[in-house]
Homo-oligomer: A and B are copies of this chain.
Amino acid sequence: MCYGFYLTYLIREKEPGALSRAGEDAVRFMALSDSGRGDPRQTLRLLWRGLAEKPGKPARGRKPRITADQIVSAAVSLADRERLPAVTMEGVAAALGVGTMSLYTHVPGKAELMDLMVDAAWGELDLPAEPPARPEGWREQVQLYARETLALYRRHPWLREITTVRPPLGPGLLGRQEYLLSSLADIGLPARQVTASAGAVVAFVDATAGFEAEHQHAHEVTGQTEAEWWAARQSFWEDLFDPPSYPTITRLWAADGLAGSTAESVAEAREFGLRALLDGIEAAVRTPPTGR
């Protein structure tokens, strides 16, 4: 999750000056869940497999029983249903009715499969580029992004479990970036702040959407409701929590005005925060804060 500053990458680097040849990438660190090691060229070709379906292919050899697309969507539905740990090469292969190792004919490895899953998911966003469907003001456009992202995370809560510093350069994420940047490009900010504000929006929206989605799915997957989770920890309040040490928590607890379900509170924080963020961006348009 937190593709926060992806756009930063997208924009900044054009320098063709290669350094390490890197036909074989250094083993990428794995965080959250892994994503993209191996030969980046190959992964890129897979990410953009929609294009470049080379037409005059000789097509020799055995006919493939499965395609990369099928593998990706099988993996995605597995993850949708049972979360990321359930996505094993065995499981995906079984879902397709082939042997485990057959997957490796179409996909370099699990990390690359993750990249493909991520980009496929982001590609689902419906962010119209043209006025009929596209909302009018930039605020509305950003809010559409926020809504779509929340819906996306709800459909695919596992998105949150895959890191993306140095994310897949695929059409899905690229499309998202284009949309957001185009929304913010001409509101009157200097270029630098266009990037900054877009980065801030993505960071906030992704974080809150991811959290909310995971929160909701936690119940479905564990079979444990939030109330049950708390109940199992009731001894905390009885034995360990020391009110004088935490006066504000205690006070707010006593005041209680907050009520509502946790889900509601989370949603409120999301709404409130996004509005505040947009207000702040708007203020920056009127009065350049740093005066750059």
Binding site for B on A (CB under 8 A): 1-2, 4-5, 7-20, 22, 25-33, 40-41, 44, 48, 51-52, 83-85, 158, 160-161, 163, 165-166, 169, 174, 177-178, 181-182, 185, 190-201, 203-204, 206-208, 210-211, 214-215, 217-218, 221-237, 240, 245-249, 251-253, 255-262, 265-266, 268-273, 275-281, 283-284, 289
**A8-B265, A196-B265 known; A178-B248 Cβ under 8 A:** yes
- Whether A218 and B165, one on each chain, are in contact in the complex, defined by CB atoms closer than 8 angstroms, is yes
20 contacts across the A-B interface (CB closer than 8 A): A5-B211, A15-B227, A19-B225, A19-B227, A19-B231, A20-B231, A22-B232, A29-B217, A30-B84, A31-B158, A31-B160, A41-B235, A44-B236, A165-B215, A177-B249, A178-B245, A196-B265, A196-B272, A278-B280, A280-B280
Chain B min CB distance to A43 (Å): 9
- Measured in the bound complex, the distance between the Cα atoms of B92 and A121 in whole Å is 37
Known: A26-B224, A204-B204, A272-B289. 9 other contacts (CB 8 A): A9-B230, A29-B222, A165-B214, A178-B245, A178-B247, A181-B252, A185-B252, A273-B277, A277-B277
Secondary structure dominating the interface of A:
helix
